[in-house]
Amino acid sequence: MVQKLENAVQEEEKRTREEQQMILPKELDGKTVVWSKNNISIAAAICGIGGGLAVFFWTHPDQKLEKMAKKRQVQLKMDYSNLLFKIRILIGAGMTIRNAFFRIASEYEEREKREIRYIYEEMVYSCKEMQSGISEEKAYEHFGQRCGQTRYLKLARILAQHMKKGTEGLEEILEQEMQQAEEERIAMAKQAGEEAGTKLLIPMGMMLIVVLVILVLPAFLNF
């Protein structure tokens, strides 16, 4: 029907090419054809698209920054128990808190795979603060503040306190913290797995619909 209508319009256009007006077909195969005018002007469409693009590019950097900040927070939570384990092992081997802190930071800087791990980036920054003359206690305090999570503020206080009175009893405290952090990490991993499974349901549902259409459509076409 559409093809017939297009052919009729083209024929009328050829016939009235040299005239000022062209009359559109009013009937086709005994059916009345109703023509309507598009109320959306090109200028309005361009303005609408331009406005949409402007809003997208205006908000896109903020969305990207928000996504990076969320990723940083999650990564800090996941890496906490691992950091406690490293500090406890090094202190148990006889290192001071400062030396253990520097050792972990230097190992991170010397690694081959340059994947950013935000907790160790903050440790590297704290080591540079100490090397520039800032006191060890202040450097730990700044470390906890930059991480911005209660667990790291607590760790900074623990390190600062035992820096003054020695490392006696520090291993036990770190062990308790590590057990609690490991439980939280496992719970977060389970939650992330559940969220990933939920997100997979949408594409799986779409694939199911496509398969059903492929199976059912030939049956309808045969009638």
How large is the average pLDDT for residues 36-59? 62
CA distance 73 to 147: 8
Per-residue pLDDT for 67 more than 80? yes
Give how many domains the chain has, as a whole number: 2
Specify the pTM: 0.57
Does any domain span residue 147? Answer: yes
> In terms of domains, do 171 and 96 share one?
yes
pLDDT value, residue 139: 93
Which residue intervals of the chain are DSSP H helices?
2-15, 42-92, 97-110, 118-131, 136-147, 150-165, 170-221
Residue 187 tokens, joined: 């719970």
> In terms of domains, do 82 and 130 share one?
yes
How large is the average pLDDT for residues 112-128? 90
Please provide the average confidence, as pLDDT, over all residues in the chain: 81
Does any domain span residue 203? Answer: no
Amino acid at site 45: A
pLDDT value, residue 108: 92
Does any domain span residue 168? Answer: yes
Does any domain span residue 78? Answer: yes
Does any domain span residue 61? Answer: no
> In terms of domains, do 16 and 92 share one?
no
Domain encompassing residue 14 = 2-32
Among 36, 38, 39, 33, smallest CA distance to 2 is for 33
How large is the average pLDDT for residues 189-210? 74
Does any domain span residue 99? Answer: yes
pLDDT value, residue 203: 77
pLDDT value, residue 138: 93
